[in-house]
A and B are shown apart, each in its own frame.
Chain A
Amino acid sequence: DTAVSQTPKYLVTQMGNDKSIKCEQNLGHDTMYWYKQDSKKFLKIMFSYNNKELIINETVPNRFSPKSPDKAHLNLHINSLELGDSAVYFCASRLTRASGYGYTFGSGTRLTVV
């Protein structure tokens, strides 16, 4: 299936741990994103990469480090997890500079820090 896939779907971990979330898209899109949805359901951009180049880096703690090994993958590594990092993280991709292409989102990773 053509899609944006994230793993894992659920992640429960203790404070202070380091964890990674992986994202892959097989749509041939050139730009990938990470969004965070908090408990109030607001969706906020965190990062975007275009062809492996960092384009957007919002005001996110430097404990969060995205890595894009190729344009089909954008992983998110989080160091020293804190309670406030608990949220649902969505990966997305799109084909930019071409009309008619919206974002395709993954199904999300629900991170719970205890």
Chain B
Amino acid sequence: DAKTTQPPSMDCAEGRAANLPCNHSTISGNEYVYWYRQIHSQGPQYIIHGLKNNETNEMASLIITEDRKSSTLILPHATLRDTAVYYCIVDMNRDDKIIFGKGTRLHILP
């Protein structure tokens, strides 16, 4: 079973920031938080990951709470092309499998 909990769906207006929450209350000390997204009919795409500190790259920002039990993915200026299913995953960077949950279906509204 996936170790994360996400809302099944969210809406966001185009041009606004999309904030996608994720709960991972049983995360262990050496597990990273990864975010992927799957745009319709494509393979999942890596977005960002973090361990303890907040992270930012050209796609998104990742905010991890101090107790590491939850995190938020932020897409700063959502566009229609950001419509996708977003998966939050905890992973130890080993050759173990990663387990996908149901993710959050993000709808960007024009």
Q: Report which A residues bind B (CB closer than 8 A).
A: 4, 30-31, 33, 35, 41-45, 48, 50, 55-56, 58, 90, 92, 96-108
Size of the chain B interface, CB-CB below 8 angstroms: 22
Asked if B81 lies at the interface with its beta carbon under 8 angstroms from chain A, I say: no
Nearest-neighbour CB distance to chain A for B90, whole angstroms, equals 13
Q: A96-B93, A101-B93, A108-B42 are in contact. Are A43 and B32 (CB under 8 A)?
A: no
- CA A101 – CA B41 in complex, angstroms? 23
Q: Nearest 6 CB-CB pairs, A to B?
A: A105-B43, A102-B46, A45-B97, A43-B100, A96-B95, A50-B95
Q: A43-B100, A90-B44, A105-B43 are in contact. Are A100 and B49 (CB under 8 A)?
A: yes
* B window 72-110: CB within 8 A of A: 85, 93-100, 102
Given A43-B100, A45-B98, A107-B42; 16 other pairs, CB 8 A cutoff: A35-B100, A42-B102, A43-B38, A43-B44, A44-B100, A56-B97, A96-B95, A97-B94, A99-B32, A99-B93, A102-B34, A102-B36, A102-B46, A102-B49, A105-B44, A108-B43
- CA A50 – CA B36 in complex, angstroms? 22
* A4 cross-chain contacts in B, Cβ below 8 A: 43
Number of cross-chain contacts by CB at 8 Å: 57
Q: Report which B residues bind A (CB closer than 8 A).
A: 32, 34, 36, 38, 41-46, 49, 51, 85, 93-100, 102
Nearest A residue to B43 by beta-carbon distance? A105
- CA A101 – CA B97 in complex, angstroms? 14
- CA A69 – CA B32 in complex, angstroms? 31
Nearest-neighbour CB distance to chain A for B53, whole angstroms, equals 12
